[in-house]
Structure 1
Amino acid sequence: MALWAICYPLITLSLPYAPIMLTAFIRAAMAGCTLILIAVLLGRPAPKGIKEYGYILAIGITATSIGFWGMFYAGSLITPGLATVLTNTQPLIAGILGWHLLNERIGKQALLGTLLGFAGIVVISAESLLAKESQPLSGVVFVVIAATGIASSNILLKKAANSIDILFAMGFQLLLGSIPLGLLMLLQAPLPSLNLNWEYTWILLTLAIPGTALPFIVWFWLMDKAPLYKLNVYSFLTPVFGLYFGYAYFSETLSPVQWLGILLIIGAIPMVTSLSRKPEA
């Protein structure tokens, strides 16, 4: 979550150099190609069956195409606070999907912890939510679609975990998922100019490798280690890390309300993750 959180200030820093969707396309494609190259050099087993590639394509569309589109474009149509709240409905959506598709039964304590974590997100975003700026309905719809896409990708990742090589799976899904992003970029405007200097190059490399490739690999590996609802509660930490980075490196201040939201999120995590598994009969 900390690695994903560093992407938000880097996206802001990239704006003077290239259109936002071009950065999203290059980020995903670069991360995908890097992972595929590593997999080939290590001699890892490539996916073979249609079913495996079907999972990879579906993950690429939901996690990368829809997820990145929501992060880069849809979120820019509404205030950051509302975008944060709507994006973080993803654990709630994934919990519902996991209940029906993965047969993961979330207990009352875990459900309460998840709702408490979401409440923390709402509290953190309260000041932006109360802003008097107009909130276009299209932006709200787009971000909800993006959150649903990410939740769906987590279900697919859970089903594919431990059955497809992790490097090829994440590499191909990022590369395939970048294609719709590139097409969207071209549909919005003619091929934009690219100011590829050293500063923008380092931003892209950081976005692609530690900001995308590495957290996707870790997340895919974790899918085989714990129920999805236990993992997803940690996603509430992404805006918390984002606030910390802004506080530590950009001299941003945190209000008492934001500190309250952070405490709610931190308190929610052990409520969900401390539950022990029921012994097998």
Structure 2
Amino acid sequence: MALWSICYPLIRLSLPYAPIMLTAFLRSVIAGITLLCIARLLNRPVPKGIKEYGYIIAIGITATSIGFWGMFYAGSLITPGLATVITNTQPLIAGILGWFFLKERIGKLALFGTILGFTGVIIISVESFLTVGSQPVSGILFVLIAALGIAISNVLLKKMANSINILYAMGFQLLLGSIPLGLITVFQVPLLPFSFNWDYTWILLALALPGTALPFILWFWLMDKAPLYKLNIYSFLTPVFGLYFGLVYFSESLSLVQWLGILMIIGTIPLVILSSRNRIV
């Protein structure tokens, strides 16, 4: 979650250099190619079955194409606070999908912890999205679609965990998922002369490697180690780390309300991890 959180300040730093969707496209391509090259160098087994590639394509569309498109594009339409709240409906959506498709029965304590964590995200973000009186419906819809796409991809990742080589799975899904992002960039952004810039290059590499490739690998690996609802509770830490990076690197200040939200989120994690085997049926 900390690695994913560094993407928010990096995306902000990239804005003066390139259109946001171009950055999303290049981020996916660089991360995907890097993982595929590593898999090749390590002589990992290449996925061969139609079912395996079906999962990879579905994850690429939901996690990378829809997820990146919704979050990146909506960032220019609605406030960061509201975007954060809607994005963090993903664990709730994934919990519902996991209930039906993975047969994961979340316990009462874990359910309470998940709701409490989402409440903490709302508290963290309330000051931000209340500063703007009107939020475009289209921006809200884009973020909601992104959250749904990520939730679906998490369920798919859980179903295919430990059945496909992790490097090829994540590399192919990032590369295939980048294709729609590239098409959006071509049709929406006027083609400009290429101008090399070291600052933008380092930002892009940081977004692609520690901000995308590494956390995707870790997340896929974790899918085989624990139920989805227990892993997803950590998603609520993303805005917490985001606030920390904003505090350290952008001299942003935290209000008492935001500190309250942070404490609520941190307190939910042991509730979910230590939840009893009593399941809601």
* Same-fold call, TM cutoff 0.5: yes
Q: Describe how 1:45-124 pairs up with structure 2 within 5 A.
A: 45-124=45-124
CA displacement, residues 155-176 of structure 1 (integer Å, 9 cap, x when unaligned): 0000010000000000000000
Give, in angstroms, the shift of residue 189 of structure 1: 2.8
Deviations 1:47-84 (A, max 9, x none): 00010000000000000001111221123211111100
Paired letter, 2:36 = I
CA distance in 2, matches of 1:54, 1:235: 26
Q: Is the 8 A contact 2:58 2:153 kept in 1?
A: yes
In the other structure, the counterpart of 1:14 is 14
Residues 120, 264 of structure 1: 8 Å contact kept: yes
Structure-2 change in CA distance of 1:132 and 1:72 (3 Å): closer
Following the alignment from structure 2 to structure 1, what is the Cα–Cα distance between the partners of residues 271 and 194?
47
Given residue 20 of structure 1, which amino acid in structure 2 is its aligned partner? Answer: I
Matched with 1:172 is: 172
Say whether the 8 Å CA contact 1:158–1:223 is kept in structure 2.
yes
Native 8 Å contact 2:71 2:142 kept in 1: no
Alignment-mate amino acid for residue 226 of structure 2: A
Contact 1:74–1:142 (CA under 8 A) maintained in structure 2: yes
Q: Evaluate the alpha carbon distance shift between residue 40 and residue 260 of structure 1 in structure 2; reply closer, same or farther with a 3 A threshold.
A: same
Most deviating of 75-84 and 150-159: 75-84
The residue identity in structure 2 corresponding to 1:34 is: T
What letter corresponds to residue 213 of structure 1 in structure 2?
Answer: A
Partner letter of residue 266 of structure 2? I
TM-score (norm 2): 0.97
Q: Name the amino acid aligned to 2:275.
A: L
Q: Which residue of 2 aligns with 1:250?
A: 250
Pairwise CA distance, 1:247: 0.9
Distance 1:33 1:68 in 2: 17
User: Percent identity at matched positions?
Assistant: 77
Q: Contact (CA 8 Å) 1:63, 1:153: kept in 2 or not?
A: yes
User: Which one-letter code corresponds to 1:140 in the other structure?
Assistant: I
| TM-score normalised by the chain length of structure 1 | 0.97
In structure 2, relative to structure 1, the CA distance for the partners of 1:162 and 1:79 (3 Å cut) is: same
Secondary structure class of the residue paired with 1:76 = coil
Structure 1 residues not aligned, in runs of 5+: none
Match of 1:237 in 2: 237
Comparing 244-253 with 223-232, which one deviates more in the overlay?
244-253
Residues 253 and 193 (structure 1 numbering): CA distance in 2 closer, same or farther, change over 3 Å?
farther
Distance in 2 (CA, whole Å) between partners of 1:77 and 1:145 is: 14
The amino acid across from 2:55 in the alignment is: Y
Counterpart residue number, 1:223:
223
Two-structure CA RMSD over aligned residues (Å): 1.1
Contact 1:19–1:192 (8 Å) recurs in 2? no
1:18-67 deviations in whole A, cap 9, x for unaligned? Answer: 10000000000000000000000110000000100000000000000011
Distance (Å, rounded) in 1 between the aligned partners of 2:73 and 2:110? 32
2:28 is the counterpart of 1:28: yes
Measure how far apart 1:251 and its partner are.
Answer: 1.2
Query: What's the secondary structure of 2:139's corresponding residue?
Result: helix
Q: Which moved more, 1:53-62 or 1:192-201?
A: 192-201
* Alpha-carbon separation, structure 2, partners of 1:217 and 1:132: 37
Match of 1:150 in 2: 150
Structure 2: gaps of 5 or more residues: none
CA contact 1:17–1:196 (8 Å) conserved in 2: no
In 1: Cα distance, 2:160 partner to 2:254 partner? 40
Distance across 2 between alignment mates of 1:193 and 1:131: 38
Task: Please state whether the residue corresponding to 1:77 is helix, strand or coil.
Answer: coil
Give how far 1:131 is off: 1.8
**Deviation for aligned residue 1:275:** 2.5
4+ residue segments displaced more than 6 Å: none
